[in-house]
Structure 1
Amino acid sequence: MISPAFAAILASGRAQFNGRAAEARRRFPSLDMAAFSIFLHDGVDPLVAAVAAAAPERAGSVTLAAYDMALELVGHGLAGPAAKNPFLNTVWHELAPALAPLLATAPIEVLGMLSNAAIHVGGVAGARPAQWQRELAVLAPQVETLAQLRAVGQVLAWRAGVAHFRQGALAAADTLPAALALAAFGEPGAHWPQVHAQLLDYPWRGNAEGREFGSFSGLGGDFGTPPQVRATKDGFVVRSAERHYLLVADAYGAVLHGATAEEYALAQTGVPASVRVDGASVHIGARSIALDLPAGDIALAANAHTLAITSPWTHAIRLLPLA
């Protein structure tokens, strides 16, 4: 059963909604109306009910916007029970209602923003979309404008593992009220200019252990052969099985993009004087890290903040903070 508010709006505009559905079927011949009905129940009804409680005078216009967008999303196979990206269903069902006051004022913009973010974050290998959704729901009562929603969403996407968002997320965070920016980083009560400066200066802030990235493609991983790595200013260019990638990693996650053989050839191979290998251990200044790798076949590459460790005996890249 759908909520009384949603049922009443659908009943009062039955002819209008039926006309919109008929037009959508012409635009999307493969539109599954049974799947659309399920998405109306699971995805649209919760947000309409939330808006009806927060701003009842806006429930009708929000329903129209959500209905039209739902038709398009289901028509493209992006929403509904057979969705290409099931995370979008969850965002409409669980996150959108938490933003009811803002949704009431700008339904098309809010739902478009949330849908695009769900598709992107849910499609990044290694990202943590459930974390993004959970943290944004917590902050929703503090988000007052579309600009704030966009900025907070970008910050939380970075913190949820979309590592290449780092620079943009820091710039976006600077547009937020200090209290909201600090809340987005889980540091209420801190001094925002200091936190921002630290985040900008050191990508591994809050993560002293680093991370491991990559596995054999035959088991669903990233690399067909053990990767070879060279450093760039903001990441590492990786060669594996005659393919090339750009690996961007920081305290929150690691993301792999496409790259070229030319970019690999131009990347750096050296490491700082403070870094050395001794048998199966790597030393970074006074720190020593034992590696689960055969001695003698360990390769290193480093940029200003990260050391990458590879070996012909593994498909994984070990990434260690240099500070």
Structure 2
Amino acid sequence: MVENARTINIVASLILIIGIAYILIPLYLTLTTASHSYEFMLQNGLVWSIGDQFLVNIRRIFTETSIPLQMLNSLAVAVGTATGMCVLSFLSAYAIVYFNVRWAGAAFALILATVILPLDMRFVTTYQVASNVFSPLNALLDATGLNDLIAAIFGAPFHGEWSILDTRLGLIAPLLAHGMGTFLFRQFFLTLPKDLFKAARMDGAGPVRFLFDILLPLSRTSFASLFVLMFLSGWTSYLWPLVASSKADTQTAVVGLSRLIVEDSAVPDYPLIMAGAILVSIVPLTMIALLQRYLVQGLILSEK
């Protein structure tokens, strides 16, 4: 007996249409707002019609704001975060799955703890370390009394100073401390035959050759999916770039958009802001459009 699912299909279609409208209507209002002038918006407010000032507002973004330079910063942060996360996650998952490490389970649990405690929850301590990378070493030397010995030998205690704030390195490095990539690769490695590593060893392939010649080609879809996810995460990151960068030349585009709202202005220049939002959204939307297939395949193959 075949169940009549016509009612279910109708309800599902209505829900889908409502969801699409919920997403597209704000996007359409963003486009219409960006296509009008500031004076027109003051007189008429938000309107549904498309104006003729879109290219003018885009030109203002390039001539009156730091958004173009900040987009380059966002691109550097997104690519650096995605690349670093892929490499670190791949190597850590490889060590956890294919090597008989005694404390592999504990190490994996600590890595997963970074998912439970993301950067937004520990940005105060992260800021303290970023303001002086040597601060943990300084505290360790002071706590163990080694600084007294160093002072007795060299005449002065060791006190390192290195701040990575207002640098691209300072924007990228804290974003790498996330265990999602390791979890993704570990789940994929567990779907592979357990005797694959032993068979490679019997054929004379060492751990390094097995890594590059066998495991790396099989992990292309997982690499692509993780790269897209981390690229989008780095591009849309807001709180850490807001805290770690105080100069317009080192801030990211998402932070730069918020800076377009002038506090002493009664009505912000929303056409300019919406034009900037559209310009900033082009890069992640293009990334999703080009690599959507790899993103879905990588997430499916990682399930077990």
How would you bin the TM-score normalised by the shorter chain? under 0.3
TM-score (norm 2): 0.23
Larger radius of gyration: 2
Q: Which has the higher helix share?
A: 2
Structure with higher RCO (Cα < 8 A, 6+ apart): 2
TM-score (norm 1): 0.22
Q: Which has the higher strand share?
A: 1
